[in-house]
Structure 1
Amino acid sequence: MELQWPLILFTTFVAWSAGLFGTQALLATGGHAKRSQLPAWVASAALLAVGGVAVFFHLEHWERIFNGFGHLTSGITQEFVAIVVLAVVAVAYLAAMRRSDDGATAPKWKP
């Protein structure tokens, strides 16, 4: 069995991105680490982008990637969906964070 380095890189970078994003969001809900919120978000987005690019390189013919998107059960489609979902959540979080009073904390739920 040969190592599929692009898949290893995809898994590592996307998991790192999700972990960093989750930790940052958890700290923001507690009102901690206000100065590191934006740099952590940028680092998380960069890690997600690197992981997303790594997906393409494990295909022998990457130009045929759209053939895989036609099947929801294919691995490449599931990887793509995971990246898009995390990106949408991260952008929504960034927008909410920037609208907060100090620009670095999670918005408070109003009753």
Structure 2
Amino acid sequence: MDIQWSLVLFTALTGLGGWLFFFVGLNVLVGKTDKGAFAGTVAALALTVVGGCASVTHLSHPDRMLGALQHPTSGIFTEAALVGLLCIVLVAFLVMLKRSLTGTPLKAVAVIGMALGALMSFMAGQSYLMPAIAAWNTELLPLGYLGTAAASGAAAWLLLIAVQKADEAAVSFAGLMTLAGGCAALVTTLAYGAASGAFAGDAALLVGAAALCGGAVPAVCGAFVWKKPGSAVAGGAVALVAALAGSVAFRCAMWVIGAGLYDFFGLI
């Protein structure tokens, strides 16, 4: 089974965008800084749109996707609905920021966007669960999708507010969130790797890279920035590059693991 790069990019980019907005929304709720909200939302919207477009390139006949959208129980319908709803919420959030609307209405929209962003990353992995491929048929797979996306989104938020020169308290908090996201990615990646048997097969290096780059590096960078906010730009940049690379590696590993089923049929 070849790695389906369109789907890898779709899930990695929409996951990054969704979780970037999760931390934009979290900042609205906790009020750590007044920087980064507009730029972060624009970036999240762009990532979600580009990721959604990448998914269409996977189809030989994109027009047939409209048929799948007529079946609400399909994975394609769920993913398309979440992408569309998140984009609508992000646009609404941007309009509210432009009009300087604050307080409960802005927080309510932020919470909705946070929920959609996190759910989208999980459901992107949930779509692959099927009894026919045992290595995919575990809830640890969508949890890995969610964990790696959370790490990349936290790192993106950290870098964004560091570049915009937010105060040290806000940067330190973003470092703590990156540490948490990195730990989530590390745990979920290793758990899925162990449950799927990846460490005994061809996907071992990819899962190892996903754990190291997607989990351990962002966690270390986040911990460092948490204690030393002055290093946030460098720490955030390293964390983001590593987290995104790890996120892609995790998704590639899934396809390599799934190839075992087709190798079995080739022997019959």
TM-score by length of 2: 0.37
CA distance in 1, matches of 2:85, 2:104: 23
Partner of 2:79: 79
Number of corresponding residues: 105
Q: 1:23, CA displacement in angstroms?
A: 0.3
Detail structure 1 runs of 4+ shifted over 6 Å in the superposition: none
Unaligned runs of 5+ in 1: 102-106
Match of 2:104 among 90, 96, 109: 109
Q: Structure 1 vs Structure 2: percent identity of aligned residues?
A: 34
User: Any conservation in 2 of the 1:55–1:76 contact (CA below 8 Å)?
Assistant: no
Name the SS for the 1:34 alignment partner.
coil
| AA of the residue aligned to 1:67 | G
CA distance in 2, matches of 1:53, 1:109: 33
Unaligned runs of 5+ in 2: 106-268
Partner of 1:22: 22
| AA of the residue aligned to 1:88 | I
CA distance in 2, matches of 1:69, 1:40: 30
Q: 1:75, CA displacement in angstroms?
A: 2.0
Of structures 1 and 2, the one with the larger relative CO (CA 8 A, separation 6+) is: 1
CA offsets 1:48-85 (integer angstroms, 9 cap, x no match): 11111011011121122212111112222111101011
CA distance in 2, matches of 1:62, 1:32: 43
Partner of 1:9: 9
Partner of 2:52: 52
Q: 1:31, CA displacement in angstroms?
A: 2.5
Task: Note the 1:78-97 alignment, pairs <5 A.
Answer: 78-97=78-97
| AA of the residue aligned to 1:92 | A
| AA of the residue aligned to 1:10 | F
CA offsets 1:21-64 (integer angstroms, 9 cap, x no match): 01011112222332311111111111011111011011121122
Determine which structure has the larger helix proportion and give its number: 2
CA distance in 1, matches of 2:97, 2:89: 12
RMSD: 1.8
Q: 1:10, CA displacement in angstroms?
A: 0.8
CA distance in 1, matches of 2:46, 2:81: 17
Deviates more, 1:16-25 or 1:59-68: 59-68
TM-score by length of 1: 0.82
